[in-house]
């Protein structure tokens, strides 16, 4: 089974801090994604990566950046955390065509105080 591991289930940070959320997948998937999940808004795509060092903006990239130095690891970075970035963050990966679905991690509940 594919395993997508997010480094933290719960994280509390302070306004202005630089925050790193880490995601690792163990199935050699080319494509990795970061979503933000908020009640009543569903999942919104922040950034995705289709290869090492390749990234593209999703629908809500403002205030975020990403890093993909190795194929298995995709990091989401909050450059200067703000309270409106308090949310659930989900990482996902897929090997390609839609016959193979996206596999999700357990999520990180991030609180910015």
Contact footprint for another protein (CB under 8 A): 31, 33, 35, 40-45, 48, 50, 56, 58, 88, 90, 92, 94, 96-99, 101-102, 104-107
Shorter beta-carbon distance to another protein: residue 41 or 80: 41
* Min CB(94)–another protein separation in Å: 5
Nearer to another protein, 17 or 59 (CB): 59
Return the ∠ at Cα 20 (arms to 54 and 35), rounded to 5°: 60
C-alpha radius of gyration, the chain, whole number: 13
Nearer of residues 47 and 85 to another protein, judged by Cβ: 47
Picking from 84, 108, 83, 78, the residue whose alpha carbon sits closest to that of residue 18 is: 78
Least separation, in Å, of the C-beta of 98 and another protein?
4
Give every CB contact of residue 1 below 8 A, 6+ residues apart in sequence: none
The nearer residue to another protein, 3 or 14, going by C-beta atoms, is 3
Nearest to 26 by CA among 62, 48, 1: 1
Shortest separation between residue 93's beta carbon and another protein, angstroms: 10
Closest CA to 36 of 24, 21, 51, 17: 21
């Amino acid at each position: 089974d594919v395993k997508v591991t997010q480094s933290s289930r719960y994280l509390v940070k302070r306004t202005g801090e630089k925050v790193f959320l880490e995601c690792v997948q163990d199935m050699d998937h080319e494509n990795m994604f970061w979503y933000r999940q908020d009640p009543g808004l569903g999942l919104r795509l922040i950034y995705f990566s289709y290869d090492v060092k390749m990234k593209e903006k999703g629908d809500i990239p403002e205030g975020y950046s990403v890093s993909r130095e190795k194929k298995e690891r995709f990091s989401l970075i909050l450059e200067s955390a703000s309270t409106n970035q308090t949310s659930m963050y989900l990482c996902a990966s897929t090997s390609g065509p839609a016959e193979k679905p996206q596999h999700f991690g357990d999520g990180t509940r991030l609180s910015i105080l």
